[in-house]
Structure 1
Amino acid sequence: MPAAEGLRRLQSFSRAPPPNDDISIVKTNLTQDSVRLLQNILAYHVASHPGSRVFGNEQGKGLKLVEASIRNRNGVLSGDESLDDLEATTVCELVVDQSMLNVHGTFAGACAAHIIDIATFSPLFALATVTGSDPSGFSTSMNLVWHAPAVLGSTLRFVGTSLSCKAKFATARCEVYDKEKGTLIVSATHVVAPVRGLAMRGAPTQVHKSRARL
């Protein structure tokens, strides 16, 4: 599937409901259309639609995109970059509620892994908004390190950063912080194998200058 078709697939997703229905709350250097697309992609992956019974929807539906940016790792954006010249960062926030706690009253490890899965895909999709490549795929590995517990009512910041986008694998990392205290809660690295025909393949996809204000 050509890159343009991959992007069209992402653009076909339904408009995101709250809390991802307002582009003005997102701190970004991307275009408004790119931010709106990112919000729609996020809502799709937490299955935010009426009557949803998809695994993790109850816990993930409050995940809110608050920051999204792309930069050239080597300096000023020229428009001739390959995917690996670019680094995307997204920040999503989530308030810990009762359904996310384990028997000890802290943020459950399984819930953390589920949200980190989405939060590490997020910067890869940010790249998609300016390159046209669709990074959709399946996880091959996810390494997580727990640093501190999070408790009921905590607002967590999931900072996702793209590391590498290759034809066979894409990699991103995530750090989860307590927003109020600044404490590192979890850190993770996630490796994804793009679905053949949807994602990055062949020659590196170049960024289009008009798609982002960097």
Structure 2
Amino acid sequence: MASISAARLEKMFRMLPNVDASSIKGNLSAEENQINANIFAFYVSGKGGPTPIQNPFGRSVGEHLQITELTVTEEGASGRLEIEVTEDMCNVFGTMHGACGAYIIDHATIGTMVLYGRAAGFDGRGVSTSMNIHWHNPANLGDILAVFTESVHIDNRARTVRCEIRDKETRKLIITGTHSFLNAGAAAKL
């Protein structure tokens, strides 16, 4: 796998269709929020951009994830997303399936690192090396979940992002997790 330069990624990202990013809060410009929302939409839906996969795994869930806040500092990045628990996210008992929680953590944490990479001028994509997930309470059909992410460690080779998923209304903790990955170029050299 060849590493893609930051300039080439930027060109690819600008080819993506626009999604509504007007309500995203944080410390980025409206233009940066728009680009980052478009990138996230591409990764979860396969829409737009140069990809042979038009219906990737989990698309129905990914398309319901809504970015509500993006923040970048010199040290890292953080984000907030929201999603309503729908029937296609649940097990037979009407609670969110464990694999769905892992999917949300995966995309939310990678999205945070892609966000930081764009701001810092590097390719923020990566190959997962570990994902630790702890379930604290069930999320029920119809619940609105708030997903919080924050970068923990970033260097030239490895990155770690933490994630917390809470019930938006009650603030009840649903899931916590950390996701570690290698940058795409370092992973290709293994």
TM superposition score category, shorter chain reference: 0.7 to 0.9
The 1:131–1:192 alpha-carbon spacing in structure 2 relative to 1, beyond 3 Å, is same
1:145 to 131, 134, 138: 134
Structure 1 equivalent of residue 115 of structure 2: 126
Match of 2:27 in 1: 29
- What is the aligned partner in structure 2 of residue 104 from structure 1? 93
Q: Does 1:5 align with 2:7?
A: yes
Q: Distance in 2 between matches of 1:110 and 1:8?
A: 31
Unmatched tracts of structure 2, length 5 or more: none
Q: Distance in 1 between matches of 2:121 and 2:33?
A: 14
Alignment of 1:59-208 (within 5 A): 59-72=61-74, 86-196=75-185
CA contact 1:48–1:61 (8 Å) conserved in 2: no
Alignment partners' CA distance in 2, 1:195 and 1:49: 22
Deviation at 1:10? Answer: 5.2
Q: What letter matches 1:25 in structure 2? A: S
Question: Unaligned regions of 5+ residues in structure 1, if any?
Answer: 73-85, 199-214
Which whole-Å deviations, capped at 9, do the CAs of 1:17-40 have from their partners, x for residues lacking one?
xxxx22320111112221111101
One-letter identity of the residue aligned with 1:65? I
- How far apart are residue 11 of structure 1 and its match? 2.4
CA deviation string 1:189-212 (max 9, x = no partner): 0001111179xxxxxxxxxxxxxx
Distance apart, 1:153 and its partner CA: 0.8
Distance (Å, rounded) in 1 between the aligned partners of 2:12 and 2:135: 32
Q: Aligned partners of 2:23 and 2:118: how far apart in 1?
A: 18
CA distance in 1 between counterparts of 2:136 and 2:70 reads 25
Alpha carbon RMSD of aligned pairs, Å?
A: 2.3
Secondary structure at the counterpart of residue 23 of structure 1: coil
For the residue of structure 1 that corresponds to 2:76, the secondary structure is strand
**Count of aligned pairs:** 182
Specify whether residues 4 and 114 from structure 1 end up closer, same or farther in structure 2 by C-alpha distance, changes over 3 A only.
closer
Q: What letter corresponds to residue 112 of structure 2 in structure 1?
A: P
Give the drift of 1:168: 1.7
Does the Cα contact within 8 Å between 2:46 and 2:56 map onto a contact in 1? no
- Distance, in Å, in 1 between the alignment partners of 2:9 and 2:54 is 25
What whole-Å deviation, never above 9, does each CA across 1:25-56 have from its counterpart, x for those lacking one? Answer: 01111122211111011101112539942110
Residue 45 of structure 2 aligns to a residue in which SS? coil
Task: Decide whether aligned partners of structure 1 residues 145 and 67 sit closer, same or farther in structure 2, where only a CA change above 3 A counts.
Answer: same
- CA distance in 1 between partners of 2:35 and 2:171 (Å): 29
TM superposition score normalised by structure 2: 0.87
